[in-house]
Amino acid sequence: MSEPAPAAARPTEEEPRRDDERTEQSDEQPTETPSTPTTGADAAIAALTAAGVEHVFGVQGGAIMPVYDALAEAEAAPTHVTMAHEQAAAHAADAYGQVTGEPGVCMATSGPGATNLVTGIADADMDSDPVVALTGQVPTAFLGNDAFQETDTLGVTRPITKQNYVAGEADAVGPSVGEAVELAGAGRPGPTLVDLPKDATTAETTGDEAPEAELPEYYEAPEFAEESAVDAAADALARAERPLVLAGGGVVKAEASEELRAFVEAFDVPVVTTMPGIGAVPEDDDRCLSFAGMHGTGAANMAVSHTDCLFAIGTRFDDRLTGGVETFAPEAEVIHADIDAAEISKNVEADYPLVGDAAAVVEQVHEAFAERAADATERYADWREQCHEWEEQYPMTYAAPDEEPLKPQFVVEAADAATPDDAIVTTGVGQHQMWAAQYWTYRDPRCWVSSHGLGTMGYGLPAAIGAKVAAPDREVVCFEGDGSFMMTLQELSVAARENLDVTVIVLNNEAIGMVRQWQDAFFEGRHTASEYGWMPEFEPIAEAFGAKGFTLEGYDDVADTLEAAFAHDGPSVVDAQIDPGENVYPMVPSGGDNSGFALSEGQL
């Protein structure tokens, strides 16, 4: 994949920075010594450092070598985590960004390195996660000539980045990287990319080594919504009989959880979340009906269908949430708060658009509503009662037989019970992801790290690595399916090398289970290419990578096995051999009516 580098030039990843040595060196040199010329590559690293970037996830290669060299040589530089595959570097950076709220940075070489980042960048774009990608590029003189390892990275990533740049000369590198970092985290977060032609990174800079990073000239992210719009929204809430708060991922990203919790508590309003919004409000709060949408809870979907005033914050009304838009919250006046004006009325028309930062807007609405809500809490009593009835009518439960096979939901609940409340859960994509969303109780934002919009199988393990690097003191649990895990399990080598204490729980049903579930429901049970009977044993695979492996087959072993896996200081993999017949319900059929969720295959 990467152009072989001469051994002498290859930075040694195992000992990324010999800080002590370098400090000694610099002590010997008088500070007045004229500084050595800086290159574009030095400027890239200086810009990252100036922006406060602490970790970079990446893979070496020909065109990015000067940047790696600068990373190794710089006195202060982010710590580099070498990943096994560039896709994993992007996912790790994405998860790092989700956990810290600061942009995660990934790095790859030109051509295949850059294209391997694409899935991760697209994933970050769909979920509005702050990610900065730095890609090597062939020298500018070769651009467009189909040179070795050349790809039109700018063209390829234009539709999946918030903004991308080519730094065509050394002096452009620092400002571009600085701007990319600023922009990734500003307003509605998203991925940015800087393409770095090799001649620009090797040439000497003439200007300021690390100019202050700035947002692009015309970029504006509004903070407060217009007062008149807030008043109109508050009037709508005051008129409502059955108001419902819908908290999207934007609540988490805007750090608006506290404001939202205060609002919900003050007026006793029922609240549901979207999948990315999980944790925005505590799921064990009496007012929280958990998440709505395709595999959301019955109560959440009934509430969404029957509300007459939906206060939606930081959501783009994805089709997995709305089902058929014709039947989504059909009786509701919609108040939609979003920092991205283009999200307003994109999928669901907003009667009351509020463009601004979620935390600021929720406070604005709180204040405006408080003046009008004298009788609100009493007036909503019947509605709250109705929501609780739905919760009792449609409890999240599953058959837990005496005998094997093991139910996946039980494994999720057991892992939840065995970990602290602030544990971070990452997942791949598929049935296991839905069980992890449904049966784990999330109490805080930034505890749930998953691939929502793009639905990238294999997201879980690299995300767990990114999450653990971001929060080394927190427990990180990764749920994977067997099919999903197979897509990125080579990253176990990274977890083992860095001794990252992550626990991967593979809910193994020897299938891409979600596909098989849909085949049962909509393709007359023809399991084309969805059953993976040739799955390897994950326990010895884990051991081969240097992780600790476990196999979990029966209920009696769940407690001991999970305990041992969590206790292991380093990466561990639990191959939980679950009931292959278990499917994910409730389920709103694709494009269906939220209130028509099926509780079993027979109801589809």
Partner 1 sequence: MSRERTGGEFADRDTDRDGLQGPGPDERERPSGRRSKEGVRVDPEAEASHPARRTTISALVKHEPGVLAEVAGLVSRRRFDIDSLTVGPTTNPETARMTLTIEEPEPGVRQVEKQLEKLVPVISVRELGRDAVRRELAVLKVHDDDPAAVEAVAEMFDARTLDAEPGTVTVEVTGSSAEVDRAIEAFQRFGVRELTRTGTAALARGNEWTTDAEEERYERQPVDAAATDSASATEGAEAHTDDD
Choose the stretch contacting partner 1; rule: CB under 8 A; options: 64-72, 98-106, 211-219, 511-519.
Answer: 211-219
Among 45, 71, 183, 269, binds partner 1 (CB under 8 A): 183
Number of Cβ within a 10 Å radius of residue 1: 15
Among 27, 378, 473, 524, binds partner 1 (CB under 8 A): 473
Among 267, 369, 435, 585, binds partner 1 (CB under 8 A): 585
Question: C-beta of 166: minimal distance to partner 1 in Å?
Answer: 8
Among 44, 117, 154, 467, binds partner 1 (CB under 8 A): 154
Residue type at position 134: L
Minimal CA–CA distance to 442: which of 459, 464, 421?
421
Indicate whether 162 belongs to the interface with partner 1 (CB under 8 A).
yes
Spatial separation of the C-alpha atoms in residues 580 and 513, rounded to whole Å: 8
Contact of 212 with 239, CB cutoff 8 Å:
no
- Look up residue 444 and give its two tokens: 């805080």
Indicate whether 131 belongs to the interface with partner 1 (CB under 8 A).
no
Spatial separation of the C-alpha atoms in residues 55 and 70, rounded to whole Å: 15
Indicate whether 184 belongs to the interface with partner 1 (CB under 8 A).
no
- Specify whether 198 is catalytic: yes
Spatial separation of the C-alpha atoms in residues 439 and 396, rounded to whole Å: 8
**Residue 131 φ then ψ, to 5°:** -135, 140
State the binding string over 523-562 for partner 1 (x if CB under 8 A, else -).
--------------------------------x--xx--x
Nearer CB in complex with partner 1: 103/483: 103
Q: Which of 198, 407, 468, 548 is catalytic?
A: 198
Indicate whether 521 belongs to the interface with partner 1 (CB under 8 A).
no
Exposed / middle / buried, residue 241 (Cβ in 10 Å: 0-12, 13-18, 19+):
exposed
Q: Which of 21, 148, 349, 389 is catalytic?
A: 148
Indicate whether 388 belongs to the interface with partner 1 (CB under 8 A).
no
Question: C-beta of 36: minimal distance to partner 1 in Å?
Answer: 33
Contact of 280 with 260, CB cutoff 8 Å:
yes
Indicate whether 384 belongs to the interface with partner 1 (CB under 8 A).
no
Question: C-beta of 102: minimal distance to partner 1 in Å?
Answer: 20
3-state secondary structure of 333: strand
Q: Which of 60, 98, 149, 517 is catalytic?
A: 149
Nearer CB in complex with partner 1: 84/562: 562
Question: C-beta of 243: minimal distance to partner 1 in Å?
Answer: 15
Minimal CA–CA distance to 457: which of 436, 435, 431?
431
Question: C-beta of 332: minimal distance to partner 1 in Å?
Answer: 8
Nearer CB in complex with partner 1: 253/366: 253
Indicate whether 405 belongs to the interface with partner 1 (CB under 8 A).
no
Contact of 209 with 143, CB cutoff 8 Å:
no
Spatial separation of the C-alpha atoms in residues 576 and 493, rounded to whole Å: 21
Among 12, 29, 399, 524, binds partner 1 (CB under 8 A): 399
- Look up residue 512 and give its two tokens: 């891409």
CA atoms within 13 A on the CB side of 68: 25
Spatial separation of the C-alpha atoms in residues 445 and 278, rounded to whole Å: 7
Indicate whether 393 belongs to the interface with partner 1 (CB under 8 A).
yes
Nearer CB in complex with partner 1: 455/596: 596
Indicate whether 218 belongs to the interface with partner 1 (CB under 8 A).
yes
Indicate whether 337 belongs to the interface with partner 1 (CB under 8 A).
no
DSSP 335: E
Residue type at position 512: I
- Specify whether 86 is catalytic: yes
Interaction with partner 1 in 354-383: which residues (CB under 8 A)? none
Indicate whether 385 belongs to the interface with partner 1 (CB under 8 A).
no
Minimal CA–CA distance to 40: which of 122, 136, 148?
136
Query: How many residues contact partner 1, by CB under 8 A?
Result: 77
Choose the stretch contacting partner 1; rule: CB under 8 A; options: 229-237, 288-296, 300-308, 573-581.
Answer: 300-308
- Specify whether 98 is catalytic: no
- Specify whether 346 is catalytic: no
DSSP per position, 15-76: S---HHHHHHHHHHS-TTSPPPPPBHHHHHHHHHHHTT--EEEE---GGGHHHHHHHHH-SS
Indicate whether 317 belongs to the interface with partner 1 (CB under 8 A).
yes
DSSP 578: B
Q: Which residue has the tokens 């009931």?
A: 579
Q: Known catalytic residues? A: 86, 148-149, 198, 514
